[in-house]
Structure 1
Amino acid sequence: MSYQYNGSLVFYETVGCCDQYTTLYAADGKVLCHPDGGLTGRGDGQCADFAKARTEERLVWQDPR
């Protein structure tokens, strides 16, 4: 998925299963943070407001399996 977050285009990558972090990337591919997932489900705490602050959700790619 892509979003606007803090005035910038970002890409959010989910994971398939079980206690793994999701990843939020800047438009240039730099890892910004891990908004959720992990053992607590709260990510790494570096972008705790992502779920509330994101806008302009767009599907970029979906695995057809």
Structure 2
Amino acid sequence: MKAHFEAKKANPPIQVYSYQYKGATVYYETAGCCDQFSNLYAADGKLLCHPDGGLTGKGDGQCTDFTKARTEEQLVWKDPR
């Protein structure tokens, strides 16, 4: 989260959600705006893929089932600025 506070505030504000996906806890970080990739991280912090965003809005194509397969959504953090 430190990197977010050092950067200019995004519009809309960045949010991080936890989900269960393929039997594991993952963390989904929303994109700030416009044609930016969202990020999906493993519990150990490893970047798994970009589920959505980018020029097409469909991410990087590496986890196309994320939106349908994810469960147990919980908001973990939202930029309070």
Give the TM-score normalised by structure 1.
Answer: 0.97
**Unpaired runs of 5+ in structure 2?**
1-16
Answer yes or no: is 1:62 the counterpart of 2:75.
no
Q: What is the Cα-based RMSD across aligned positions, in Å? A: 0.5
- Secondary structure (helix, strand or coil) at the match of 1:52 reads helix
Identity across aligned pairs (percent)?
A: 77
Alignment match, 1:50: 66
User: Aligned pairs, how many?
Assistant: 65
Q: Which has the larger radius of gyration?
A: 2
Distance 1:15 1:39 in 2: 13
Give the TM-score normalised by structure 2.
Answer: 0.79
